[in-house]
Amino acid sequence: MAYFPSLLSALFFLLLSPCSSQPTEFFFPGFERLTEPDNLTLTGVSQIEQNGILRLTNATPRFVGKAFYSSPFRFKNSTNGPAFSFSTSFVFAMVPVFQGFGGHGLAFTLTTSVDRRAPPNQYLGILNATEMGNFSNHLVAVEFDTVQDFEFRDIDDNHVGIDINTLRSNASVPAAYYTRGGSTKQNLTLKSGKLIQAWIDYDSVENVMNVTIAPTSNRPTSPILSFHVDLSPFLQEFMYVGFSASTGNVLASSHYIFGWSFKINGQAQALDLSSLPSLPGQPKKHTTLIVGVSVSSAVVVIALSVAIYFVIKTKNADVVEDWELEIGPHRYSYRELKQATNSFSDKTLLGQGGFGRVYKGTLGNPNTLVAVKRVSHESKQGLREFVSEISSIGRLRHRNLVQLLGWCRRRGDLLLVYDFMANGSLDKFLFDEPKTTLNWDQRFRIIKDVASGLLYLHEGYEQIAIHRDVKASNVLLDDELNARLGDFGLARLYEHGTNPGTSRIVGTMGYIAPELPKTGKATTSTDVYAFGAFLLEVVCGRRPIDPDALPEEAVLVDRVWEKFSEGKVLDVVDTRLDGQYDEGETMMVLKLGLICSNDVPAARPSMRQIVRYLDGEAELPENLRPPSGFDGGADEFEAFVHSFSSSPSSSDKTSSYPFLKDGNLGSTASFASISSSPVSLGQAI
C-alpha cells in the first residue's frame, strides 16, 4: 500500500485545481499584439500605446485607469472551499509630472467585478468611502502607493501594502529590495520613472502572501513583504485579476505596465526587462550605441552649426509637455505675458511676497486688464501650489471668486493670469491708515460677497473645496468694491460624502481653528472659523492678532467676547465709521463672528446657515456661549501657541512663531512663502 500517500496527494491536488474550462495562466511580454485587446478589459483612461506599453493613467489629475484580464479565474472549487495558490509577475513604472511628486499609485487587484465604481486620489479607483472595510467587498490588493494619506494610516509616500477589503493596509513596508543573498536591503523609489519588476505569490498551504520588487530581472531571494493570511474567506469562487491606478487632485503620475504574467497553482512565467518595450525617451538596456569614426570634419562643423542655430532660435521658446496640454485652463505663451507686462517692468509691479511678484498686464484686443502672478520657484512647495491652482482650482466659477484666466510655464518661470481687481485687497482699506474708509454698507456687502463665495466652495462645486486661508488680504475688490475671494494656493479639494484626510497645517495665525493643530484635518468648519475672524476684523478694523497691543487685548475675538459679556460690544466697532452704521446689522455680524469662532467645531454654523443669517432669513440665537476657559485672552493665546507648536501633525514647523506685520506665521508655516507673506496683490488676485 506504499502507493496510497501518493494517491492521496494526487487527489488533493486535483481537488485544489481549477476546472480545465477556466483559464489558469497567461503571459504578456509586452502588449504589442493587443492594440485591440480581446483578453484585456480597459476602463477609465487606460489604453495600450503603439509601442506596446499598457498605460493605466496619463498625468491628468483626478483620473482612474484600470486593466483586467477579461475572463475571471477560478480561485476555488466551491464557494466555501479553500483558495488556490497563485503567482503573478509584472513590470511597471510611475512617471511623475514633477520629479519627487507622485500621485497616487497603482494596485494589483483581485476583485469580483471590473466595473466597480470608485473615485481617484487616495482610493486608487478600488473602493469608495462607504465601502471601506466591508466584508462583502471580496477585494484583495497589493498597493504601490506614492502619496502618504493619514486617513489610511500610510507609513510614508513610497510604500508597498497588502489591502484586504480596505485601503488601510493590513501590512505595509517602505519600498525596497534585497540584493542577491538577502543580506543587504536597498531602498527603491517607486515614482522614479524607472522600470521596476514585482512578484506576488500566495501559498495556500502555508497561508502566506509574499511581495518582492526589484529594479532588475533578477528576483531577490527574500521578499520585502510577507503577510500570513488565509485568503479563502475573502476570495469568491471566480475573481478578476488586474490593475487599477489613479491620479490626485493636484499632482499626478503616468502609470505604465510593460509586461505581465499570471498563473493559478504554479509559478508565473518569468519576464525579462531587456525584451520588454522601452519607456518613451529611454533606450532599451541591451541596445548598443555604435559611433562611426570616419565622419569628416566638414560634416561635424555643419552639424555643430545647425545645432547652435536651433539652440539660439529656441532659447526663448516655450517648452510644452504633454501633461500641460491637458490640465487647463488657457495656456498663454511666455511672449504674450512678457509683452502684456512690459517685460515685467517695475512700473507694472503691483506687489510682491514670499511666493514671487504680481504685475499688472494688458492682454488681447480689445485690451483686457489682468494680474500676472510670477511664482518664485525655488522650492517644491511653490511648485505644488502652482499646480494646485491651475489643475484643480482653475475650474471654479463664481462671481465672488477671483477667476483664474490662464497660466504659463517656461523653464523655471511659472505664471498665473487672473482677473484684474482695480481696488486691490481689502486689508489696505482696513489697516495701516487707509486713504479711504469703507462705510458700513460697503463692509456689509463685502461680507455677504465673501460668504457667497465660500458657500459655493463648500457646497456648490462638484467637490468640496476648502480654502484654508480666508482673511482680508485674500479678499479682492473690483472697481465697484464688489468682493471676490482669491489666492487658492493652499486650497484643498475632496469628494462629497468623504472625510478630508490629515495634512500639514497651513494658514495664518489668528485664523487657524483651535482643533486644527490637534487633528491636522482642514474642514469646512475650519474655514468657518477663519470666516468668523474675518467678520470681526471687518467690523472692528483690527487684525485678529495685534502684536503691538497689550497682551490682554492682543486677540481680537477675546476682546470682543469681553465687551460682549459687559454689554458693550459696540465699543469694538471701528472708530473710523464715526458711529455711522446700522446697529442691528452690526450686532448681528459681531454675534455671528463670535459664533463662528466657537472653539467647538460642531457649534459653528455651516456657510449655508451663515448666508441665511446675513440675508435676514433666519434669526441668530439670543444667548452665546463664550469659549471654554475664557479669561480675557492672554492665557488662552499662550495655550493656543503652545498647542500649535507641539502638534504632532506639524513636524515641518519650528517651535517659534515670530509675528509679522499682519500676524502671519512667517517662514515657519507649511507652504511657507506663499501662505506667510500675503502680498497686497493690489489690484491683483
Binding site listing for ATP: 373
Quick count: other Cβ atoms within 10 Å of Cβ 573? Answer: 20
What's the burial of 10, exposed, middle or buried (CB within 10 Å: 0-12/13-18/19+)? exposed
Q: What share of the chain is helix, strand, coil (3-state, %, to 5)?
A: 30, 25, 50
| Residues 642 and 510 sit within 8 Å (Cβ to Cβ) | no
- Calpha distance 541→228 (Å, rounded): 63
Question: H helices of 118-271, where?
Answer: none
- DSSP E strands in 9-112: the ranges are 25-28, 40-44, 47-48, 54-57, 64-69, 73-74, 86-96, 105-111
Say which residues have a Cβ less than 8 Å from residue 106's Cβ, sequence separation at least 6. 56, 92, 94, 124, 143, 144, 243, 244, 245, 255
The answer, yes or no, to whether the previous bond of 329 is cis (omega within 30 of 0) is yes
Extract the C-alpha cell encoding 422: 482695480
For residue 132, what are the contacts with CB-CB under 8 A and spacing of at least 6?
166, 167, 168
CA-to-CA separations, 72 to 49, 54, 241, 265, 465, in angstroms, rounded: 24, 20, 7, 15, 39
Longest CA–CA separation in the chain, Å: 110
CA neighbor of 503 nearest in space, from 489, 488, 487, 492: 492
CA angle 161, 166, 169 (to 5 degrees): 25
Please tell me the distance from the alpha carbon of residue 452 to that of residue 443, in angstroms, as a whole number: 14
d(CA 545, CA 559): 10
Q: Which residues contact 2 (CB under 8 A, 6 or more apart)?
A: none
* Sign of the Cα pseudo-torsion (340, 345, 350, 351, in order): positive
SS3 per residue for 550-565: CHHHCEHHHHHHHHHH
**Contact present, 636 and 557 (Cβ < 8 Å):** no
**Region class of 424: left (phi > 0), else alpha (psi between -120 and 50), else beta:** left
Contact 38, 70 (CB under 8 A): yes
- Known binding residues are 373
Residue 502 DSSP class: P
- What positions carry a catalytic annotation? 469
Residue 539: phi, psi to the nearest 5? -75, -40
Place of cell 539652440: 311
